[in-house]
Amino acid sequence: MFTTLHLAIIAPFFIAIVVPILYKYFPRTHTGWFVLFVPILLFLYFLRFIPETSNGNTYHAVFDWIPSLGIQFTAYVDGLGLLFALLITGIGSLVVLYSIYYLSKEQEALNRFYVFLLMFMGAMLGVVLSDNLLVLYVFWEVTSISSFLLISYWYERDKSRYGAMKSLLITVVGGFAMLVGFILLYQMTGTFSIQTMIQSVDDFTEHALFLPTMLCILLGAFTKSAQFPFHIWLPDAMEAPTPVSAYLHSATMVKAGIYLVARLSPIFAISGEWLWLVAGFGITTLFWGSFNAVRQTDLKGILAFSTVSQLGMILSMLGVGALALHFDGIDNNVYIGATAAALFHLMNHATFKGSLFMMVGIVDHETGTRDIRRLGGLMTIMPITFTIAVIGSFSMAGLPPFNGFLSKEMFFTAMVDVASFQQFNMDTFGVLFPVVAWVASVFTFIYSMMLVFKTFGGKLQLGQLEKKPHEAPFGMLLSPIILISLVIVFGFFPNILAYTVIEPAMASILPSLLRNGEHFLVDIYFWHGWTVELFMTMGVVLIGTVLYLTLRKWKSIYSLFPKHLSFNHLYDTTITRGESLSAKVTGMYMTGSVKHYLIYILTFFSIFLLYVLFSTDAFALNTDHLAPISMYEWLLAIVLALSAIAIMFAKNRLATLIILGVSGYSVALFFVTLRAPDLALTQLVIETVSVVMFLLGFYHLPEIAENFKKARFQVKNFIISFLVGFTVTVIGISASSTRLFESIADFFPKASYDEAGGNNMVNVILVDFRGFDTLFEILVLTIASIGIFVVIKLRLNEKEER
Partner 1 sequence: MEILMSVIAGILFMVGTYLILSKNMIRIVLGTNFISHGAHILILTMAGLKTGAPPLLGLEATNYTDPLPQALILTAIVISFGVTAFFLVLGYRTYKVTGTDNTDGLRGPDSYD
Partner 2 sequence: MKLNDIVIQTTTKFVLFIILAFSIFIFFNGHHHPGGGFIGGLMTSAAITLLLLAFDFETVKRILPIDFKILTASGMLIATLTGMGGLVFGGPFLSHTFGYVHLPFFGEVELATALLFDLGVYFVVVGSALTIIEMIGGDQ
Q: Give the containing element (helix H, strand E) for 63.
A: strand 59-66
Binding mask 744-773 for partner 2 (x = CB under 8 A): ------------xxxxx-xxx-xxx--xx-
Question: With binding defined as CB under 8 A, does residue 47 bind partner 1?
Answer: no
| Residue 57 Cα distances to 169, 518, 583, angstroms | 39, 12, 56
User: Which of 704, 740, 755, 772 is close enough to bind partner 1 by CB under 8 A?
Assistant: 704
Smallest distance from partner 2 to CB 268, Å: 52
| Residue 315 Cα distances to 228, 281, 311, 394, 484, angstroms | 12, 8, 6, 22, 24
Question: With binding defined as CB under 8 A, does residue 593 bind partner 1?
Answer: yes
Only segment of 162-170, 230-238, 280-288, 588-596 that touches partner 1 (CB under 8 A)? 588-596
* Closest to 537 (Cα-Cα) out of 385, 416, 365: 416
User: Is the Cβ of residue 625 or residue 799 nearer to partner 2 in the bound state?
Assistant: 799
| Residue 163 Cα distances to 132, 149, 167, 680, angstroms | 31, 11, 6, 65
Question: With binding defined as CB under 8 A, does residue 681 bind partner 2?
Answer: yes
Answer yes or no: are the C-beta atoms of 313 and 282 closer than 8 Å: yes
User: Which of 7, 17, 546, 693 is close enough to bind partner 1 by CB under 8 A?
Assistant: 693
Only segment of 87-95, 469-477, 482-490, 642-650 that touches partner 1 (CB under 8 A)? 642-650
Own/partner pairs, 90-93, CB within 8 angstroms, 24+ separation = 90/39, 90/43, 91/246, 91/247, 91/251, 91/252, 91/350, 91/354, 92/39, 92/42, 92/43, 92/121, 92/247, 92/252, 93/36, 93/39, 93/40, 93/43
* CA 370 – CA 162 distance, rounded (Å): 20
User: Is the Cβ of residue 10 or residue 766 nearer to partner 1 in the bound state?
Assistant: 766
Question: With binding defined as CB under 8 A, does residue 660 bind partner 1?
Answer: yes
* Closest to 713 (Cα-Cα) out of 649, 643, 641, 646: 649
User: Is the Cβ of residue 682 or residue 736 nearer to partner 2 in the bound state?
Assistant: 682
* CA 324 – CA 434 distance, rounded (Å): 18
- Cis peptide upstream of residue 400 (ω within 30 degrees of 0): no
* CA 508 – CA 262 distance, rounded (Å): 8
User: Is the Cβ of residue 565 or residue 791 nearer to partner 2 in the bound state?
Assistant: 791
Only segment of 85-93, 337-345, 362-370, 656-664 that touches partner 1 (CB under 8 A)? 656-664
User: Which of 28, 107, 792, 802 is close enough to bind partner 1 by CB under 8 A?
Assistant: 792
* Closest to 375 (Cα-Cα) out of 442, 313, 466, 314: 466
User: Is the Cβ of residue 64 or residue 755 nearer to partner 2 in the bound state?
Assistant: 755
Only segment of 92-100, 144-152, 307-315, 694-702 that touches partner 2 (CB under 8 A)? 694-702
User: Is the Cβ of residue 383 or residue 771 nearer to partner 2 in the bound state?
Assistant: 771
Binding mask 527-566 for partner 1 (x = CB under 8 A): ----------------------------------------
User: Is the Cβ of residue 463 or residue 749 nearer to partner 1 in the bound state?
Assistant: 749
Work out what residue 588 binds among partner 2, partner 1, none; the CB cut-off runs from 5 to 8 Å by kind.
none
| Residue 473 Cα distances to 385, 427, 487, angstroms | 11, 55, 22
Q: Give the containing element (helix H, strand E) for 60.
A: strand 59-66
Smallest distance from partner 2 to CB 697, Å: 5
| Residue 285 Cα distances to 95, 271, 308, 435, 437, angstroms | 27, 21, 7, 14, 11
User: Which of 7, 627, 693, 711 is close enough to bind partner 2 by CB under 8 A?
Assistant: 693
In a 3-state reduction of DSSP, which class is residue 371? Answer: strand
To the nearest 10 degrees (0 to 180), the angle between helices 532-549 and 432-456 is 40
Only segment of 169-177, 305-313, 374-382, 635-643 that touches partner 1 (CB under 8 A)? 635-643
Work out what residue 779 binds among partner 2, partner 1, none; the CB cut-off runs from 5 to 8 Å by kind.
partner 2
User: Which of 199, 387, 603, 688 is close enough to bind partner 2 by CB under 8 A?
Assistant: 688
Question: With binding defined as CB under 8 A, does residue 800 bind partner 2?
Answer: no
User: Is the Cβ of residue 203 or residue 678 nearer to partner 2 in the bound state?
Assistant: 678
Question: With binding defined as CB under 8 A, does residue 576 bind partner 1?
Answer: no
User: Which of 208, 560, 626, 740 is close enough to bind partner 1 by CB under 8 A?
Assistant: 626
Question: With binding defined as CB under 8 A, does residue 656 bind partner 2?
Answer: no
Binding mask 695-714 for partner 2 (x = CB under 8 A): -xx-xx--------------
Binding mask 758-787 for partner 1 (x = CB under 8 A): xxxxx--xx---x--xx--x--xx--xx-x
Question: With binding defined as CB under 8 A, does residue 782 bind partner 2?
Answer: yes
Answer yes or no: are the C-beta atoms of 465 and 364 closer than 8 Å: no
Q: Give the containing element (helix H, strand E) for 750.
A: helix 747-756
Question: With binding defined as CB under 8 A, does residue 200 bind partner 1?
Answer: no
* Closest to 259 (Cα-Cα) out of 308, 211, 221, 286: 221
Q: How many residues bind partner 2 (CB under 8 A)?
A: 40
Work out what residue 688 binds among partner 2, partner 1, none; the CB cut-off runs from 5 to 8 Å by kind.
partner 2
Q: Give the containing element (helix H, strand E) for 614.
A: helix 594-615
User: Which of 176, 186, 276, 748 is close enough to bind partner 1 by CB under 8 A?
Assistant: 748
User: Which of 170, 396, 640, 669 is close enough to bind partner 1 by CB under 8 A?
Assistant: 640
Smallest distance from partner 1 to CB 577, Å: 17
Answer yes or no: are the C-beta atoms of 533 and 407 closer than 8 Å: no
Question: With binding defined as CB under 8 A, does residue 786 bind partner 2?
Answer: yes
Work out what residue 459 binds among partner 2, partner 1, none; the CB cut-off runs from 5 to 8 Å by kind.
none
User: Is the Cβ of residue 593 or residue 615 nearer to partner 1 in the bound state?
Assistant: 593
Answer yes or no: are the C-beta atoms of 680 and 669 closer than 8 Å: yes
* CA 755 – CA 544 distance, rounded (Å): 92
Neighbours of 248 (CB within 10 A): 27
Work out what residue 463 binds among partner 2, partner 1, none; the CB cut-off runs from 5 to 8 Å by kind.
none
Question: With binding defined as CB under 8 A, does residue 662 bind partner 1?
Answer: no
Q: How many residues bind partner 1 (CB under 8 A)?
A: 100
User: Which of 109, 542, 689, 695 is close enough to bind partner 1 by CB under 8 A?
Assistant: 689
In a 3-state reduction of DSSP, which class is residue 474? Answer: helix
Residue 154 CA, distance from chain mean position? 19
Work out what residue 647 binds among partner 1, partner 2, none; the CB cut-off runs from 5 to 8 Å by kind.
partner 1
User: Which of 678, 705, 734, 797 is close enough to bind partner 2 by CB under 8 A?
Assistant: 678
Smallest distance from partner 2 to CB 52, Å: 48
Length of the chain, please? 802
User: Is the Cβ of residue 28 or residue 700 nearer to partner 1 in the bound state?
Assistant: 700
What is the residue-wise DSSP string for 390-429? HHHHHHHHT-TTSHHHHHHHHHHHHHHHHTT--STTHHHH
User: Which of 707, 772, 798, 802 is close enough to bind partner 1 by CB under 8 A?
Assistant: 707
Q: Give the burial class of 594: count Cβ atoms within 10 A of its Cβ; 0-12 exposed, 13-18 middle, 19 or more buried.
A: exposed
Own/partner pairs, 607-614, CB within 8 angstroms, 24+ separation = 607/723, 609/727, 609/731, 610/726, 610/727, 610/730, 613/730, 613/731, 613/734
Question: With binding defined as CB under 8 A, does residue 802 bind partner 1?
Answer: no
Q: Amino acid identity of 143?
A: T
Question: With binding defined as CB under 8 A, does residue 667 bind partner 2?
Answer: no
Answer yes or no: are the C-beta atoms of 618 and 740 closer than 8 Å: no
**Contacts of residue 136, Cβ cutoff 8 Å, sequence gap at least 6:** 126, 127, 130, 182, 194
Answer yes or no: are the C-beta atoms of 389 and 452 closer than 8 Å: yes
User: Which of 703, 742, 798, 801 is close enough to bind partner 1 by CB under 8 A?
Assistant: 703
User: Is the Cβ of residue 21 or residue 654 nearer to partner 2 in the bound state?
Assistant: 654
Residues at the interface with partner 2 (CB under 8 A): 677-678, 681-682, 685-686, 688-689, 692-693, 696-697, 699-700, 756-760, 762-764, 766-768, 771-772, 774-775, 778-779, 781-782, 784-786, 788-789, 792-793
